[in-house]
Amino acid sequence: MKVLMFGWEFPPHITGGLGTACFGLTKGLAKHGVDIIFVVPKAYGDESQEAVRIVNASDVSVDLEKDEEREYWDRVQYMEIGSNIIPYVGPEQFNIVTEEEVRASENFKSKVFSQKYEFSGKYGFNLMEEVARYALVGSAIATKHDFDVIHAHDWLTYSAGVAAKETTGKPLVVHMHATEFDRSGENINTDVYAIERRGMEMADVVITVSNLTRNIVIEKYGIDPNKVITVHNAVEPSDKPQLTGIGKQVNEKVVTFLGRITFQKGPEYFVEAARKILKRDPNVRFVMAGTGDMLHKMIHRVAQLRMGDKFHFTGFLKGDDVEKMFAMTDVFVMPSISEPFGIVPLEAMRSNVPVVISKQSGVSEVLKHALKVDFWDIDGLADAIYGLCHYDALSEDFIKHGKEEVENLKWEHAAIKVKQVYDLALHI
């Protein structure tokens, strides 16, 4: 079976869990005989191609003077640029972004229609321009390759998937890793919502990463439940030796939050729980690793609570730095308000770190050996963290059984279910 897969990022160039999930899934699918052409907006040349063939959308030229290629654009839904499309933009950037947006709107069409286009592959002010061009290129790529199924990951690539389907007639599977309601709460970006909804309506099958996400897709987007299938994410087995000998250089317990510092991830609940714990025991240190639009607010709140000597902000971590952070961590915390899945707790457990997660996360559906609390229950969150820090028998039990549990959550198992989805799409 051959699959034309559209993604927005691929390791080692990632900003979050989406690229990590795509990498793990493609490796899993390769073990089951699935050949994958993986399209990214911008390839750097150092991406792993052990399980996929990378196609760089920036290398694809489109000549709209030709009738055949002009038809591609007719299949692509026109998209306007909206200022609040930029994920996690901070208030200090808003004025700059708004000014840039006005200039970008003026030459939106000319850029998208140009023969050559250099994608940034990031999430900047011209994101909608890139999404539109990516859809145009997706339609063109679909005519140049042999494949059985189209698979589009997340809203950024849905329009490309739809265009490829309309160009070739091949079945489309869209993968919902996170909805606009997860990212923005009820204050959604209507442009993104419209792209998500259209992509799922046009898809033959929709994959959601959890039942939590499946319910949102059905209830908020009105998608037919019969074509929405949950396939839980997994975690890559570590091929690196367990890090040892990395000293914390502190005698206190270390509690870590690692993820985007945004509304969705609930960083403020982590800070407030830290305040309660430090009142009970000052010999605990807290680490917030990541970046996002709430970073400055969290720094200000920590300073306001006079916890600066017990609270550390590391910035964005990836690769070996994540492994080193886990090696120094005694408890990992993910207090997400709405987490479609959440791969990082699995990575922590794989590194022998017990975890506390919110009940409002997809990963809570598959984990038994994790302490689960409601994201808003600061007292419960503080008690769970305190317990893992101070009761050795509890933490040791969660470490032992948690690692065993995670080792059974393999991408090759998730890939079997995804391949079954492909078979279903082919026979609809």
Query: Tell me, what's the pLDDT at 244?
Result: 53
Do residues 194 and 81 both lie within one domain?
yes
* One-character DSSP codes across 120-149: --S-STTHHHHHHHHHHHHHHHHTTS--SE
- Starting at the earlier edge strand, list the strands of the sheet with 311-315: 311-315, 284-289, 253-258, 331-334, 355-358, 371-373
Pair of tokens at residue 112: 């998208």
Residue 91 confidence class, pLDDT cut points 50, 70, 90: very low
Task: Tell whether the model's pLDDT for residue 81 goes beyond 60.
Answer: no
Lowest mean pLDDT among 12-16, 414-418, 419-423: 12-16
The number of distinct structural domains making up the chain is 2
Lowest mean pLDDT among 31-45, 235-249, 412-426: 235-249
Task: Tell whether the model's pLDDT for residue 24 goes beyond 70.
Answer: yes
Task: Tell whether the model's pLDDT for residue 89 goes beyond 50.
Answer: no
In a domain, residue 380? The reply is yes
**Residues of the chain above pLDDT 70, percent:** 86
More confident: 65 or 265: 265
In a domain, residue 247? The reply is no
Task: Tell whether the model's pLDDT for residue 70 goes beyond 80.
Answer: no
Do residues 51 and 145 both lie within one domain?
yes
Do residues 128 and 261 both lie within one domain?
no
In a domain, residue 248? The reply is no
Query: Which structural domain range is residue 349 located in?
Result: 253-407
pTM equals 0.85
Query: Tell me, what's the pLDDT at 90?
Result: 42
Residue 103 confidence class, pLDDT cut points 50, 70, 90: low
Task: Tell whether the model's pLDDT for residue 30 goes beyond 70.
Answer: yes
Do residues 11 and 153 both lie within one domain?
yes
Region at 145 (left for phi over 0; alpha for psi -120 to 50; beta for the rest)? beta
In a domain, residue 155? The reply is yes
Residue 240 confidence class, pLDDT cut points 50, 70, 90: low
Find the CATH number of the domain harbouring 398. Answer: 3.40.50.2000
CA-to-CA distance for 157 and 135, rounded, in angstroms? 7
Do residues 329 and 198 both lie within one domain?
no
More confident: 359 or 124: 359
Do residues 76 and 98 both lie within one domain?
yes
Residue 14 confidence class, pLDDT cut points 50, 70, 90: confident
Q: How confident is the prediction for the chain on average, in pLDDT?
A: 88
Do residues 312 and 377 both lie within one domain?
yes
- In angstroms, the Cα distances linking 263 to 69, 184, 186, 289, 293 are 41, 7, 12, 15, 8
Query: Tell me, what's the pLDDT at 254?
Result: 97
Which whole number is the average pLDDT over 379-388? 98
Block residue for tokens 């050949």: 35
Task: Tell whether the model's pLDDT for residue 117 goes beyond 90.
Answer: no
- Starting at the earlier edge strand, list the strands of the sheet with 35-40: 53-56, 35-40, 2-6, 149-153, 172-176, 205-208, 228-230
pLDDT digits over 302-339, tens only? 999 999 999 999 999 988 899 999 999 999 999 999 89
Query: Tell me, what's the pLDDT at 272?
Result: 98
Residue 100 confidence class, pLDDT cut points 50, 70, 90: low
What are the φ and ψ backbone dihedral angles of 284, each rounded to 5 degrees?
-135, 140
Query: Tell me, what's the pLDDT at 83?
Result: 36
Query: Tell me, what's the pLDDT at 82?
Result: 41
Do residues 103 and 134 both lie within one domain?
yes
In a domain, residue 54? The reply is yes
Task: Tell whether the model's pLDDT for residue 181 goes beyond 70.
Answer: yes
The amino acid occupying position 404 is E
Q: Where are the beta strands (DSSP E) in 79-195?
A: 149-153, 172-176
Query: Tell me, what's the pLDDT at 379?
Result: 98
Pair of tokens at residue 209: 């990463």
Do residues 159 and 115 both lie within one domain?
yes
In a domain, residue 385? The reply is yes
Do residues 18 and 148 both lie within one domain?
yes
Do residues 398 and 415 both lie within one domain?
no
Helix (H, G, I), strand (E, B) or coil at 225: helix
**C-alpha angle with apex 258: 54 to 260, nearest 5 degrees?**
65
139-144 contact pairs (CB < 8 A, 24+): 139/72, 139/75, 139/76, 139/163, 139/164, 139/166, 139/167, 140/60, 140/62, 140/69, 140/72, 141/4, 141/39, 141/55, 141/57, 141/60, 142/4, 142/167, 142/168, 142/170, 143/167, 143/168
Query: Tell me, what's the pLDDT at 34?
Result: 96
Do residues 213 and 85 both lie within one domain?
yes
Residue 243 confidence class, pLDDT cut points 50, 70, 90: low
In a domain, residue 241? The reply is no
Query: Tell me, what's the pLDDT at 148?
Result: 98
In a domain, residue 242? The reply is no
Which whole number is the average pLDDT over 372-378? 97
